[in-house]
Amino acid sequence: MVCVLGIDHVQLAMPKGGEDEARAFYRDVLGLAEELKPVELAERGGCWFTGGSAHVYLGVQTGFKPAEKAHPALLVDDLAGMVMRLAEADVAFTPGKPLGGYERGDIADPFGNRIELMQRI
């Protein structure tokens, strides 16, 4: 039987020229490592980031509009610690409604894309 094995990556859109802002947020605030894009894709712009099994790719989109509903949900090992790191970087965190087995909440990247942060409890 043919089946889906998992998710390789999540791609979010960003405006042209936003690579430095993306690095400052995804690398410096969230703590993800930047992954070099393959040469054949690098000319398109954007950035790729990874942390654990999470792969978040930012691609340049003409006529960019942020994703306010659709979103990646990133698992973190210490949500309270991440919230403190976010506060130090002036990134707003909105606690989420209760969901069995998780503590969670939402943030927005510098481009307005929604990102959910979740910790298993």
DSSP string, 72-96: -EEE-S-HHHHHHHHHHTT---EEP
Instruction: Provide the mean pLDDT of the chain.
Output: 96
Query: Which of these, 112, 115, 113, 111, lies nearest to 16 by C-alpha position?
Result: 111
**What is the sign of the dihedral through the CA atoms of 97, 99, 104 and 110?**
negative
Decide: helix, strand or coil at residue 19: helix
pLDDT reported for residue 9: 97
Mean pLDDT of the region 59-86? 97
Rounded Cα–Cα distance for residues 100 and 69 (Å): 21
- Residue-wise pLDDT for 30-70, tens only, equals 999 999 999 999 999 999 999 999 999 999 999 999 999 99
pTM check: above 0.85: yes
